Amino acid sequence: MSVKGLRILLTGDTEGGVWTFALELAEGLLNRGADVCLATFGTTVTDSQKWSASEIPGLRWLHHNSKLEWMHEPWADIERAGHWLNEIARQWQPDLIHLNTLCHAALPWNVPVVITHHSSVASWWHAVKGSPLPVDWRRYQREVERSLRSATMISAPSHAALAAIARDYNVDIPEARAVHNGLSSDGFRVGEKEEFILSAGRLWDEGKNVRVLAEVAPRLPWPVYLAGDSQAPDGTTTPLTGCHLLGRLNSAELSALYSRAAIYALPARYEPFGLSILEAARSGCALLLGDIPSLREIWQDAAAFVPPDDIPSLEAALRHLIADPLYRARMSQLAFRRAHEFSQSRMVDGYLSLYQSALAKHERDRGRQACAS
């Protein structure tokens, strides 16, 4: 398809890994000749995020300070954000809209809408709590289903995440596609490895399951460092004693830490893709991950796996990596090689193919509507 001049309105948020994804995709699309406007939502924007967006030549970035759909009582914010997004589209006239939040596909768009399911409360709840969403999340379920049904095409960053949509939402997804996330080669390097274990991300998130890592940390011969927020958006704090808490780091600080860490551990219960894992692997860390379908799909034999809540197995696996430098080096090399299969270029190829299908489907749907009228 012709990418030159294709106008794409891309959305994202500033609260987690979707921010990294959105910048990587925007940069890759711009490099192919597309015109990209990135509209983000969230209650916080850091100086590091402002700097990262400003470093991408040609990127239009706009931000709406608003709650996301998984936060407490977000609906008034979601509605205001939708009006804001509609106004951007009215003024900017995109050829296609790619949503990376879940509640705006049902707005009155006149161009194709792609929605990517990076994660959702229903799939998180199933993985972490082992049950369907409770009744007090009924509106969330209804709004997300309405949005998903309204999209021209649906995607997810793994086949496991696609399967979660079919399981957790009453949505028909016959043309949905998995498009793996990817990273450019910039920003990550393999440094001189040091004797410590690293984990990073939203430390308060039960799906990341960092709690079990903190539980075994005092018994390990190497220290465990945790980078990220331990305080949830509602103000609750996850106690993670026995670890070195580093707080939220900017991208340069985190990259430097990855380059030094010998082991990256994330015994996740829920992780539809895991960009922090990819960043660590690009930096030469040996990986120890939760044994869940999405992470098995992505990392195959390039990581060690443990059942997420099997604390003795987690401790034994970490001790094995610590005690056996040859095994650790082999796992580091496997992760490094596997990580380079998830490139920015490959991700952009996947989304451009998806966009082409969405544009064609939109034209077919318009033709059928015209014939029917």
pLDDT at 189 over 80: yes
Q: Write the DSSP symbol of residue 250.
A: P
- Res. 236 pLDDT band, cuts 50 70 90: confident
pLDDT tens by residue, 138-176: 999 999 999 999 999 999 999 999 999 999 999 988 789
Long-range (24+ apart) CB contacts under 8 A made by 338-341 are: 338/281, 338/299, 338/300, 338/302, 339/183, 339/278, 339/281, 339/282, 339/302, 340/282
Please indicate whether residue 113 or residue 239 has the higher confidence score (pLDDT).
Answer: 113
pLDDT at 213 over 90: yes
Predicted pLDDT at 164: 94
CB 42 within 8 A of CB 74: no
Range 220-241 average pLDDT: 89
Predicted pLDDT at 2: 60
Please indicate whether residue 92 or residue 187 has the higher confidence score (pLDDT).
Answer: 92
Q: What is the DSSP string of 153-213?
A: EEEESSHHHHHHHHHHS----TT-EE----B-STT------EEEEEEES-TT-TTT-HHHH
Predicted pLDDT at 373: 65
pLDDT over 90 for what percent of the chain? 86
pLDDT tens by residue, 284-312: 999 999 999 999 999 999 999 999 999 99
CB 189 within 8 A of CB 252: no
Predicted pLDDT at 185: 75
Predicted pLDDT at 365: 79
pLDDT tens by residue, 257-278: 999 999 999 999 999 999 999 9
- Res. 137 pLDDT band, cuts 50 70 90: very high
Predicted pLDDT at 209: 96
Residues of the chain with CATH 3.40.50.2000: 7-183+343-372, 194-339
Is CATH 3.40.50.2000 the classification given to domain 194-339?
Answer: yes
Is CATH 3.40.50.2000 the classification given to domain 7-183+343-372?
Answer: yes
